[in-house]
Structure 1
Amino acid sequence: MKEIALNLKSMQDYRINESYKQLRTNIEFSGEENKIIAVTSCTPSEGKSTVSLSTAYSLAEAGKKVLFIDADLRKSVLTGRYKISGEMKGLTHFLSGQGDLSEILCKTNEKGLFVIFAGPVPPNPAELLGSKKFAALLKEARNIYDYIIIDTPPLGSVIDSAIVSAVCDAAILVISANTISYKFARSVKDQLAKTGCNILGVVLNKVSMKQNKYYGKYYGKYYGHYGSDK
């Protein structure tokens, strides 16, 4: 099993870290049946990859054994962020029969957190994610890990997230503040609901804490939010 350094804790200030703890608590209290959780957004650049990986880290920090799967096979942000070399095999290798689980599973420097990166962009991402092999991977992981957090492509752009959500216990929608319309967000939420997956709620991301002090004091049930002054 390969090892990789993520150094997630150094990326978060106290306020953001507390927000992730709040989200973690909401996930834990949503029910023990919600072990496999898909994270998606409406459009690219809303921060879903950061939210999903940081949520996985927060759960691991609380003593849980967590598997994070980068299932954004079309345009993985994390592969570039962590400078994953082309020699490292990922999810696409496994799903296409070019690698086994031991070759794609990575142990991180964060205790309890394991990662499977996306791998190279395949010509048929939706078909791979909808395969029996992916469903079997999740079934096996359920027996090993306390939580499986899956980063999926924006549902407002491609169908992949709906395909993944259909085999998950629950889903979280990440929405960037002042970026999309209510109508579009509602449309994506309705599309996600059609998969039959339990929607835990929405994470309001990229909120200016200077302009929205109210958000810093309130978190609704199954909701979290992460401020940014940048």
Structure 2
Amino acid sequence: MAIQNGFIQIIQDEKRDYQYEEAMKTLRTNIQFSGNGLKVIMLTSAMPDEGKSETSSQLAISMAQTEGRVLFIDADIRKSVLVSRFGGGQQIYGLTQYLTGQRLLGEVLYHTNLPNLDIIFSGPMAPNPAELLSEDAFSKLIAWARNEYDTIIIDTPPLGSVIDGAIIAQRCDGAILVVESGALSYRLVQKAKSQLERTGCRILGAVLNRVDMAGSGYYHRYYGKYSKYTKYYENEPVK
């Protein structure tokens, strides 16, 4: 992807794994059939580096390929990987600058070559992310997005590391937990689930990420009910 004058050119990888594409379509479809009133959906994880940002950005792209306008918000303002991945070294204004009043909404909202997809990047790292996300400015942004878009996908920081995701969850209609296969204990995943439950945000399910399908590469599995993980013991990695 490349950014030019506030416009993002999204180039799809033609060599992307077929199973990956099908799994993403399955995730999209399951969300669409999860019930009415699901406009603002957050994706989070228990710990960093579980593929959460890749999953959330690809989900937003997948949803934009169907009918309806989609806004993707990178709200991981502590350690975003999307700015470096999409920005190509160019100056990008983002969420932190909007929340601190340094930039107007129109200056941080990027359009893409996908007619239905807009993006708000995280912006530079802020010293007080939790406080910024608790301010009225973020609530007003989500309220504005609800009126302008059919779906809002938010990439949030890991729940096991910081409180930011729990703050964002209070403004969302549903949450999806991304879990890297074989990387975490049952206890850590359950802790993240409990944190989400305390926010009152509906848990739509979980994505079991980076499953090695007989050496065929990365893959996603979507579970509509989180209870799928109850078969694992407390100290046993999720496989």
Contact 2:177–2:206, Cα closer than 8 Å, also in 1:
yes
Q: Does 1:221 align with 2:221?
A: no
* TM-score normalised per structure 1: 0.90
Q: Which runs of 5+ in 2 are unaligned?
A: 227-239
Task: Select which of 121, 126, 129 maps to 2:125.
Answer: 121
Q: Does 1:87 align with 2:54?
A: no
1-side partners of 2:71 and 2:13: how far apart? 17
Corresponding residue of 1:49: 53
Contact 1:86–1:120, Cα closer than 8 Å, also in 2:
no
Q: Which runs of 5+ in 1 are unaligned?
A: 224-230
Q: Does 1:209 align with 2:217?
A: no
Contact 2:71–2:119, Cα closer than 8 Å, also in 1:
yes
2-side partners of 1:17 and 1:64: how far apart? 20
Letter in 2 for 1:110: L
Aligned Cα root-mean-square deviation (Å)? 2.0
Task: Select which of 120, 125, 134 maps to 2:138.
Answer: 134
For 1:64-85, what per-residue CA distance to the aligned partner results, in whole angstroms no more than 9, with x for missing partners? 2100000000000001111354
1-side partners of 2:154 and 2:12: how far apart? 17
**Alpha-carbon offset, residue 13 of structure 1:** 2.3
Q: Please give the secondary structure, in 2, of the residue aligned with 1:62.
A: coil
Corresponding residue of 2:18: 14
2-side partners of 1:197 and 1:22: how far apart? 22
Letter in 2 for 1:134: F
2-side partners of 1:87 and 1:12: how far apart? 28
Corresponding residue of 2:203: 199
Alignment of 1:26-41 (within 5 A): 26-41=30-45
Q: Does 1:66 align with 2:70?
A: yes
Check 1:93–1:85 CA distance in 2 against 1; reply closer, same or farther (3 A cut). farther
1-side partners of 2:222 and 2:74: how far apart? 27
Check 1:123–1:116 CA distance in 2 against 1; reply closer, same or farther (3 A cut). same
Q: Please give the secondary structure, in 1, of the residue aligned with 2:87.
A: coil
Corresponding residue of 2:234: none
Q: Please give the secondary structure, in 2, of the residue aligned with 1:89.
A: coil
Equivalent pairs, count = 220
Corresponding residue of 1:164: 168
2-side partners of 1:2 and 1:59: how far apart? 21
Check 1:119–1:7 CA distance in 2 against 1; reply closer, same or farther (3 A cut). same
**Alpha-carbon offset, residue 62 of structure 1:** 1.2
**Alpha-carbon offset, residue 2 of structure 1:** 1.4
For 1:17-59, what per-residue CA distance to the aligned partner results, in whole angstroms no more than 9, with x for missing partners? 1111101011111122011011100111100000001111111
* TM-score normalised per structure 2: 0.87
Letter in 1 for 2:224: K
Q: Please give the secondary structure, in 2, of the residue aligned with 1:167.
A: coil
